Amino acid sequence: MIIGNFRIELEPRLTSPKWLYAAVPAGSLVFAFIVGGVFLALTGHSPIGTYSSLISHGYTSTKGITNTLGLATPLICTGLAAAFAFRMNLFNIGEEGQMYLGMIGSAWAGIALAGHMPHVLAVLTVLIVGAAAGALWVLLPAVLRAKLGTSEIVSTLLLNYVALNLVNYFIFGSRGFFRDPTTSFPQGRGVEETARFHSFGNSNTYPTVIIAVLLAVALYWFMKRSNFGYETSVFADSPNTARYAGMNSTKLTLSVLLFSGALAGLAGAMYVVGPAGKVDPGLLQIGLGYAGIVVAALARYNFVAVVLTAILFAGLRVGGASLQISSNPVPIAIAVVLQGSVLLFALGGEIFRRNRLRIRRVQQVSVAS
Amino acid sequence: MGSHRLGGATLFALSARQVTKRFPGVLANDHVDFDLLPGEVHTLLGENGAGKSTLASVLCGLYKPDEGAVLRNGTQVRLTSPRHGLQNGIAMVHQHFRLVDRFSVAENVVLGHRSLPFRLRASDLEDQVAQVAERFGLPLDPRATVGDLSAGQRQRVEIVKALYQGAEILLLDEPTALLAPPEVEKLFETVRAMTQVGKSVVFVSHKLGEVVDISDRVTVMRDGRVTGSVARGEADTRKLAELMVGRDIDLSPRRSQVPARETLLQLDKVGLTKDGIERIANVSLSVRAGEIVGIAGVSGNGQRELAEIVAGLQAPTSGEILISGARVNGMGTRHVRKAGLAYVPEDRLGTGLAPSLSIVDNLVLTRDRGFLVDRKSALAEAEAFIQQLEIKTPHAHTATRKLSGGNSQKVLLAREIFAAGEDSRVLVVCSPTRGLDVGAVEAVHKLLDEARSAGKAVLLISEDLDEVLTLADKVLVLYRGSVVHEVAGTEVDVEAVGLAMAGLS
């Protein structure tokens, strides 16, 4: 591009220095806030005031940060689920549906199995059954992908709608096992008390957040060090090389997709052992499965970064929601604009990590022939 | 060839004056001068990365030079695109053809031509195309679908296309890389027909092969600069290689120094039929410890299938494969590896190596790994290889795709020859020097020779006939999946081998 006497060029970097990996996301965040600030100013709100209120309600106040961590807990799991599959170029975008199934599965375990179990065992059983239900929901797409090469993108996405209607059916459409029999109001049947965690203090944060963070760290270590992590990285990079080395692609595809589904199922299970305690259609409204994909992409599929990104995102939501009830209410749409801009700038910022911006004075070439 | 003189000064058909082109981190062309006479055949010789393709791209209008000028018939031209180059009579045939597979020959030839009538009559076009093709001795059926043609025929389509669009100067990038010897001869006839009517041809090549022999002049480049320009007969291969590499290069034949011992790899009447087509037919051969058996042939005559069958990636539909006397066919690549076979596939990055993974991780690829991957010993191994084989890399954790072709091939060979261990005694190598520099070719040949001296049985499958003739103790020619010619390395009749490669024996 030439402006006046200057030529503006992007020049590919041969190597990206380490600090850029942190600087680009941070810069993206700043620019996203500037864009959001413009929207705020245009709608008659003070950007500074709104942002300080957002940060306080989302992160820095005790109530804010505990609300945020509570919301971030399942989001970390769906983020891990997406990152895990996407790293191997398996685009499981069915975290949403797998999470619903995790909720249904864990609620079943919490009602049917947890009654005679001690507390820790009950919670553990409920979490495991939820994870298994999530894995089961991705089994069909996984088998189709591994055996026939069917696009997992389409099949996992479509199953989200099936899962959504399944939850609606259990609560609104029928008077079955999952529906609370004691009231005519349509709501889920509560799980046994032994199958539920108590929150920290009087907050909305549950011990499941510790499990989610530990899981992220464990996954990070496992995928870096283990043979399984090694084989998936070879397979993701070059399927031909994997074949050359005699790796079993069917087995790898199946295990990666099933584990991804299990992680998404775990998100639903954590919702049950934490705030919900039952099959709760409220989960259908907040799109934590889809948000997990965004979180994973922003974290560049790095498991530890998923934790930080999930907390950042959850905070924007929590803070954004509380702005609605301030004296000069800011519409929730502004928080959504902010989230969208963070994503947009983060993805756009990639250009500056890979390229260097150069501005040169245009030189007139003259040559004697 | 005649030079046109005007007022006592030679008028060049095309010149580059002090052309400089920079890419990030690379000075691809550093004040390069280049002159092409009308009716001249001129080879631009240099290693990969020497800047010859960059210069050709500047000359045809694909790149704009940062400094310097391009002159056409003595007048400066500022080429803005390849189309603009073509308007000035300059055309380039790229190594990777730019044709539409589903279109016919005639359709491809006229594609992009500006002055086509609104209503195209296929028969008119076909007649025109056939005329051009015939005039320059390029046998082509204008109605054939390009997707069905061989590499040599596709190249003809590209040349006819350039001529049809009025090219006076033709730049050919690595034109003989995909051709069998008789096809090369055919190409040279076309080139002669072109120069007779005053057209000029530039060969861009990294190989000291046939193209140099028919050139009137050879200009050698190294590291973005011209290191020499010699007329025909002024320099021999050795001298040109030295200009290219900057040091003395030894590409003389290497043969086994010790008598071959027991048979380690044996194929007995091996056949492969896939989708009803016979890919490999009744191939029998044996490779003994301490010898290199070379398989020559034009690309696509069953080399890949043969290599994959031996390596256990495909099961043969008939016949037996024995490694150290044990039957291994159809047992899968891990089993075959355990039986003592190492395999260097043709496709280095993307099959032999995982391109985004580090050198260390690529050394781990063929090991028994257990639950946790031991990268400590692999790192030590990688560092030893980097030092011994002079692999140019920032460090052992660099992704293999960031290495040059020669250096990544060294990593692959190191893994398959040395890291595979003492028990690995059979080595199957496919086109190990394709696309490599002269210097890297020398290094790879030395490694293969070392493997032979260490008592390995080496099966070398290569489309590069010179390579097979340089290394092999026994030469076999593969044509349409069958061995059609077999001769000892010291008794090779090059012409007979060339004919066999073209299926004419």
- Tens digits of per-residue pLDDT, A97-115? 999 999 999 999 999 998 8
Please report the number of interchain residue pairs, chain A to chain B, with beta-carbon separation below 8 angstroms.
Answer: 81
CA distances from B455 to A106, B3, B259 (A): 63, 57, 10
Q: Which of A13, A14, A227 sits opposite B371 (nearest CB)?
A: A227
Q: Average pLDDT in the A3-13 region?
A: 75
Domain boundaries, position A140:
74-299
Domain count, chain A: 1
Show the DSSP H helices in chain A as ranges.
Answer: 18-42, 47-55, 62-86, 95-112, 119-148, 152-168, 208-225, 227-237, 239-244, 249-271, 288-298, 303-323, 332-354
Q: How confident is the model at residue A354 (pLDDT cuts 50, 70, 90)?
A: confident
- Report domain extents, chain B: 11-100+167-245, 263-501
Say what the pLDDT of residue B9 is.
53
Whether A227 contacts chain B with CB within 8 A: yes
Say what the pLDDT of residue B8 is.
43
Going by C-alpha positions, the residue among B48, B165, B147, B167 that lies closest to residue B105 is B147
Q: How far off is chain A from B336, nearest CA to CA, in Å?
A: 10
Q: How confident is the model at residue A365 (pLDDT cuts 50, 70, 90)?
A: very low
Amino acid at B233: G
Q: Average pLDDT in the B26-48 region?
A: 91
CA distances from A310 to A271, A289, B396 (A): 15, 12, 34
User: What is the rounded distance in angstroms from the CA atom of residue B352 to the CA atom of residue B416?
Assistant: 10
Interfacial residues of B (vs A; Cβ cutoff 8 Å): 17-18, 24-25, 65-69, 71, 74-76, 312-313, 332-334, 337, 343, 345, 347, 350-357, 361, 364-366, 369-373
Q: Average pLDDT in the A333-349 region?
A: 80
Whether A367 contacts chain B with CB within 8 A: yes
Give yes or no for residue B452 having a pLDDT over 50: yes
Strand-by-strand arrangement of the B482-488 sheet:
B341-344, B426-430, B457-461, B291-296, B474-479, B482-488
The answer to which of A38-42, B68-72, B88-92 has the lowest mean pLDDT is A38-42
In a domain, A226, yes or no: yes
Say what the pLDDT of residue B242 is.
85
User: What is the rounded distance in angstroms from the CA atom of residue A315 to the CA atom of residue A69?
Assistant: 8
Between these two residues, B123 and A207, which has the higher pLDDT value? Answer: A207
Amino acid at A106: S
Say what the pLDDT of residue B502 is.
82
Say what the pLDDT of residue A44 is.
85
C-beta of residue A77 within 8 angstroms of C-beta of residue A289: no
Give yes or no for residue B456 having a pLDDT over 90: yes
Give yes or no for residue B71 having a pLDDT over 50: yes
The CA R_g of chain B, rounded to the nearest whole Å, is 24
Q: How far off is chain A from B295, nearest CA to CA, in Å?
A: 21
Going by C-alpha positions, the residue among B309, B272, B320, B265 that lies closest to residue B459 is B265
Q: How confident is the model at residue A363 (pLDDT cuts 50, 70, 90)?
A: low
Show the DSSP H helices in A113-248 as ranges.
Answer: 119-148, 152-168, 208-225, 227-237, 239-244
User: What is the rounded distance in angstroms from the CA atom of residue B120 to the CA atom of residue A15?
Assistant: 51
In a domain, A368, yes or no: no
> Residues of A with CB below 8 A from B412's CB?
none
User: What is the rounded distance in angstroms from the CA atom of residue B14 to the CA atom of residue B16?
Assistant: 7
Whether A364 contacts chain B with CB within 8 A: no
The CA R_g of chain A, rounded to the nearest whole Å, is 23
Give yes or no for residue B186 having a pLDDT over 70: yes
Task: Kindly report the number of other CB atoms within 10 A of residue B156's CB atom.
Answer: 24
Surface-to-core class of residue A326, CB atoms within 10 Å of its CB (0-12 exposed, 13-18 middle, 19+ buried)? middle
In a domain, A97, yes or no: yes
Give yes or no for residue A13 having a pLDDT over 80: no
**Which token pair is B257?**
């120094």
Q: How confident is the model at residue B139 (pLDDT cuts 50, 70, 90)?
A: confident
Taking each helix axis as running N to C, give the angle between helix A47-55 and helix A18-42, from 0 to 180 degrees, rounded to the nearest 10: 120
In a domain, A358, yes or no: no
Task: Kindly report the number of other CB atoms within 10 A of residue A360's CB atom.
Answer: 12
Say what the pLDDT of residue A367 is.
44
Give yes or no for residue A303 having a pLDDT over 70: yes
Q: Average pLDDT in the B22-30 region?
A: 85
**Phi then psi for B99, rounded to 5 degrees?**
-125, 160
In a domain, A4, yes or no: no
Fold agreement between B11-100+167-245 and B263-501? yes
Q: How confident is the model at residue B258 (pLDDT cuts 50, 70, 90)?
A: confident
Q: Average pLDDT in the B385-402 region?
A: 91
Element of type H or E holding B228: strand B225-231
Select from 1.10.1660.10, 3.40.50.450, 3.40.50.300, 3.30.590.20 the CATH code of B11-100+167-245.
3.40.50.300
The answer to which of A108-117, B169-178, B191-200 has the lowest mean pLDDT is B169-178
Say what the pLDDT of residue B208 is.
78
Give yes or no for residue A364 having a pLDDT over 60: no
pLDDT digits (tens, 9 = 90+) for A224-279: 999 999 999 999 999 999 999 999 999 999 999 999 999 999 999 999 999 999 99
In a domain, A284, yes or no: yes
Give yes or no for residue A34 having a pLDDT over 60: yes
Task: Kindly report the number of other CB atoms within 10 A of residue B57's CB atom.
Answer: 23
Q: What is the mean pLDDT of chain B?
A: 88
In a domain, A307, yes or no: no
The C-alpha angle A325, A329, A330, rounded to 5 degrees, equals 115
Whether A243 contacts chain B with CB within 8 A: yes
Contact A367/B361, CB-based, under 8 Å? no
Select from 3.20.20.120, 3.40.50.300, 3.40.1180.10, 3.40.30.10 the CATH code of B263-501.
3.40.50.300
Q: How confident is the model at residue B4 (pLDDT cuts 50, 70, 90)?
A: very low
Q: Quote the ipTM score.
A: 0.83
Contact B370/A227, CB-based, under 8 Å? yes
Going by C-alpha positions, the residue among A335, A367, A160, A318 that lies closest to residue B71 is A367
Q: How confident is the model at residue B1 (pLDDT cuts 50, 70, 90)?
A: very low
In a domain, A83, yes or no: yes
CA distances from B469 to B317, B460, B497 (A): 31, 11, 10
Give yes or no for residue B7 having a pLDDT over 70: no
pLDDT digits (tens, 9 = 90+) for A265-301: 999 999 999 999 999 999 998 899 999 999 998 888 9
Say what the pLDDT of residue B331 is.
83
